[in-house]
Amino acid sequence: MTDHTWNPGQLLELSGYYWKTCTLHAAVKLDVFTCLGEEQLSAEKVAKRLNASPRGVERLLNALVAMKLLIKTDDKYANSSSAGEFLSKNSPKYIGNIIMHHHHLVESWSQLDQAVQSGRPIRKRSSFDDEKRRESFLMGMFNMAMNIAPMLIPGIDISSRRHLLDLGGGPGTYAIHFCRHNPRLTATVFDMPTTRPFAEKTIARFELSERINFVGGNYLQDDIEGRFDAAWLSHILHGESPEGCKTIIEKAIATLEPGGIIIIHDFILNNSMDGPLFPALFSLNMLLGTDGQAYSERQLMDMLADAGAKEIQRLAVQTPNDSGIITAIV
């Protein structure tokens, strides 16, 4: 890797990026973008709708204009096209839940030095947190998967498969997309019992309750019943230690019929563990809240081989957040 040159201004800009982050988080938390909708409103009118201080709202709106999230014309504010598409609750592409999940992580990230010194988590796992934060996490995963699944699913051929295990599948978003893309497929979402209300509501919303069922359980501690010919493990291994990953992969493979396919979708580091950037930073996020980490391609492939899988390969897919897919046959 080449030596990258920084100047003091760039370093200070990097140090202050959290100002932009907190501005966006505040706007989403206050629901500014939904409030504006397709209208052009004065700061005073926005403040009245939000039941907030006109002084505070005006400063927030002006900062959002400077960030190119809002457009200001004659002292009236409107959503930019991108803000309307992704930050308004009225849009099907809304990503506010994952932004609120990020907001809930800020406190722990401010204590990263402590986690580095101890090597231990300093916050609760998001999936076991209080109901409000758990909902932000689960529906945030739904937001992300809704945007990414249409890019991934067409490139994964499971057309000959009939029963998919979506292990740690959260609200069932990927199971939904796999079933929509493969009309003869049925699926089982296996996740914590507290996830059931979110999953069943989401599955019903897509009118797939007859093809997708939910089973509650802890994939580290509980048996996974049933037989499948495909297993989908999306963004669950990074939350576990190498020993936990071994247990999960072995359990998933044990549910598969001979010739079944196991598919791992995760943030995958290069084999030197120092990139790409997002998986490297995500590994720190796992340090703050779990015993896990982002794993390299070699590490994941070795885990599959150790569990007896064959024909292990990395699929040529590209996603906005550097997630990747590795498949194997059992």
For 46-85, what is each residue's pLDDT tens digit?
A: 999 999 999 999 999 999 999 999 999 999 999 999 999 9
> Band of the pLDDT at 264, cuts 50, 70, 90?
very high
Q: Are residues 164 and 48 in the same domain?
A: no
For range 281-310, the mean pLDDT: 97
Among 37, 71, 88, the domain-final residue is 88
Please write the tens of the pLDDT for every residue from 106-163: 999 999 999 999 999 998 765 555 677 777 788 888 888 888 898 899 999 999 999 9
Which of 60, 88, 116 marks a domain boundary?
88
pTM as predicted: 0.91
* 193 and 297 housed in the same domain: yes
Q: Say yes or no to pLDDT of 324 above 70.
A: yes
Look at residue 131 in the predicted model and tell me its pLDDT.
74
Q: How many domains does the chain have?
A: 2
Residue 123 lies in a domain: no
Q: Do both 35 and 157 map to the same domain?
A: no
What is the span of the domain harbouring residue 65? 8-88
Q: End of a domain among 46, 73, 88?
A: 88
Q: Verify that 164 and 63 share a domain, yes or no.
A: no
- Residue 154 and residue 84 in one domain: no
Together in a domain, 75 and 187: no
CA–CA dist 283, 102 (Å, integer): 15
Q: What is the mean pLDDT of residues 18-33?
A: 98
Whether residues 178 and 295 fall in one domain: yes
Domain assignment of residue 167, yes or no: yes
The answer to whether residues 325 and 177 belong to one domain is yes
CATH number of the domain that residue 66 is part of: 1.10.10.10
Residue 114 lies in a domain: no
Q: Which CATH number fits the domain that encloses residue 194?
A: 3.40.50.150
